[in-house]
Structure 1
Amino acid sequence: MTAIASSSNAAPPLSKYLASTEKKTRDKAIKTLSVFLSDESRDEIPKFEMTKLWKGIFYCFWMSDKPLVQQALASELADLVLTTPNTSSALSFLNGFWETVVREWNGIDRLRLDKYLMLVRRFVNVSFRLLLRNDWDLKTCQDYNAILTNEGGPLCPTDGRVSVGLVYHIADVYLEELEKVLRSSDTDTSKPVPLVTLLSPFFILAARTPLGTTFNHLQSSLIEPLLSSYEDDPRARKRRRVDTSSQDTYPSILSNACLDDASVEVKLSTNLLRKKILRRLFEVASHAETRDANRRKLYALWKAEKEDDDVSDEE
């Protein structure tokens, strides 16, 4: 087999080896890539090289078969993010992933869809691990949010290429994967997770999406379960017909969250954080960029949740 090597300090291993029909060649290419990314002395990969690299990685995963092989490869690919010692380079690698997923998603056939859903879940998880490694640094969180919401990102409200199914899946797994990361970390000594900062891409998408179905999915799968988990009074949750068992769904998030900036904020009580999340939704609804139909829905959601808080206080 031809030796796999990088021809330049800035250029990653050739993508043709990653997309080889031979599993041994693909496996060796991934290991070579891991060594390349872990080199602290290398230059940052140029965007056009990153695009080529990720096309090769995407089809490397495309060629993988058998569930256990796919699971192992998905974890190995996601862990490449943490192999990269420089945060800027790691974010660039994540940006390459999301742009490739958005570009290629509609071409994934039904038989391969499940494994790509798993891959997306792994990358949502490793993104949180990268942010945790940086102590939830505000700028790093904002830079990652920009990757998600800018043109080419999976949560961009104006990019017509983004598959609705991809948006739904990210919304479905986002809080689950954040909970897993917090549960597996030393949350007693780490800085609090800036919950609203991490969720701002979804709030922006809810405000600006032209699709009513997308708004409804974000509300039912992410926003309402989150608010419900912060509801102290289970009777209020029953009035809204929310699953009362969901209060235990995100215990690590509930006990280790602040609002926006982990470097200056402390962990907030569940009741106070819930009120601040509601306030932030109200503020997002009032933005000039918010679509009128979405503004009405956000105000209605805010009003219903606020009224439940008031009734709970009276009771």
Structure 2
Amino acid sequence: MDEEMEVAEIRFAENLCSCSPKIRRRALNRLHDFIKNQTQKREFTPESFNRLCRGLHYAMWMQDKMLLQEELSDEYGSLVNLYNTHEEAIEYMRSMMYTLSKHWLNIDKWRMDKFLQMMRRLFRAFFVYLKNKNWDEELVESSILFMRQTLITGEESGIHESLKMHFATLYIEELDYAGDLSKKQVITFIKPFVELMKRTCSDSLMKSVYTEIFHTILEGYAAELEKKEGNKKVEGDLKGDGAPIEFDYAAIIELLKEAVTSETMNSKKKKKLQPLIAQFEEVARGENPFKDIMEPDRKDPLSNEMISKAVDKLHSLESKMKKDKKKFKAVKRTIKKART
């Protein structure tokens, strides 16, 4: 490796994590130019990425202003577009995840949110980058391999499990933000999570995948169904770059049924997946998967007598609370007198 370039990289990384806000800002302003110049001279090595990402991590650590944290997260995400090869883009993402995981347990509760936001914005930018490459099959395949090796796995991968759980939280939303995926391509992105559930993983990671991936899909369908029926206005939709993604529910059912019949999945997981499959089958028939929860049972309506008893009980409770309050005040006065 060119010694002169190595020294330049080390100096730049040191400036990124400098205690001086002016030096950090100057380094961040030169960030895009620095990476462009370096990639023109040669490919980034794993050591180069480690130095760069460590500097970026500490620059975020030092930033306390919320708006600037958001800008910084977006700036880090935009770097994925500067590398000459897709392999370099993936290695940048991999190194950012390893750096975040390495320092994860040292991040205090006041700084945690900005690093979770950083992770989300990194993958938002990465998915938009793939969208701009027209979701090229070869690039998607290598990207999914990277995610399976690091974040979509129950095995030790050098990434803290809580970051894997956060990745499940952002996955569907950020794919939807990028958009312009065919139903077949969406299944390609969902399949790794089904494979994860078939293999060994902790209960907490299993629950996260179950809730954040598959329940999110069901909730999205239920919200759209209510919107069409005019029952509810859907709010908080994240406006993305492309057309929202759509799901092949029959294909999802097939994947889940295949997982349930797999010999590698234990009986506890299989039992948990059965109701999920039933809900997706309801969706495939055009029904609301949460109708039993959302619609109260009206077969046995409340009688006037039952309502009257409930009202009397409420009045009785209110009366008792008032008496208890008076007793408490009396005891408080007695204690006060005793002290004086």
- TM value normalised by structure 1: 0.74
Q: Is the 8 A contact 1:11 1:49 kept in 2?
A: no
Change (3 A) 1:285 1:100: farther
Distance in 1, matches of 2:16 and 2:48, equals 14
Change (3 A) 1:102 1:147: farther
Q: Is the 8 A contact 1:207 1:295 kept in 2?
A: no
What displacement does 1:303 show? Answer: 4.1
- TM value normalised by structure 2: 0.69
Distance in 2, matches of 1:308 and 1:256, equals 18
| Equivalences, count | 280
Distance in 1, matches of 2:269 and 2:32, equals 44
Change (3 A) 1:244 1:91: farther
Match of 1:18 in 2: 16
Partner SS for 1:8: helix
Change (3 A) 1:253 1:223: farther
1:110-125 matched pairs, under 5 angstroms: 110-125=109-124
What displacement does 1:179 show? Answer: 2.4
Residues 162-192 of structure 1 deviation map (CA, whole Å, 9 limit, x = unaligned): 434323322222222222223xxxx5xx877
Match of 2:197 in 1: 206
Match of 1:171 in 2: 168
Q: Is the 8 A contact 2:249 2:284 kept in 1?
A: no
Match of 1:278 in 2: 253
RMSD: 3.6
What displacement does 1:105 show? Answer: 1.6
Q: Is the 8 A contact 2:176 2:245 kept in 1?
A: no
What displacement does 1:300 show? Answer: 4.5
Match of 1:301 in 2: 276
Distance in 1, matches of 2:49 and 2:250, equals 42
Distance in 2, matches of 1:287 and 1:24, equals 57
Match of 1:215 in 2: 206
Distance in 2, matches of 1:308 and 1:176, equals 20
1:48-127 matched pairs, under 5 angstroms: 48-127=47-126
Percent identical: 21
Residues 39-73 of structure 1 deviation map (CA, whole Å, 9 limit, x = unaligned): 45332211122222211211111111211221111
Change (3 A) 1:208 1:107: farther
Aligned mate of 1:32, from 30, 33, 38: 30
Q: Is the 8 A contact 1:102 1:154 kept in 2?
A: no
Larger C-alpha radius of gyration, 1 or 2? 2
Distance in 1, matches of 2:55 and 2:116, equals 18
Distance in 1, matches of 2:102 and 2:122, equals 16
Q: Is the 8 A contact 1:196 1:277 kept in 2?
A: yes
Decide which structure has greater helix share.
Answer: 2
1:142-291 matched pairs, under 5 angstroms: 142-150=141-149, 153-159=150-156, 162-182=159-179, 187=180, 194-230=185-221, 234=225, 257=245, 273-291=248-266
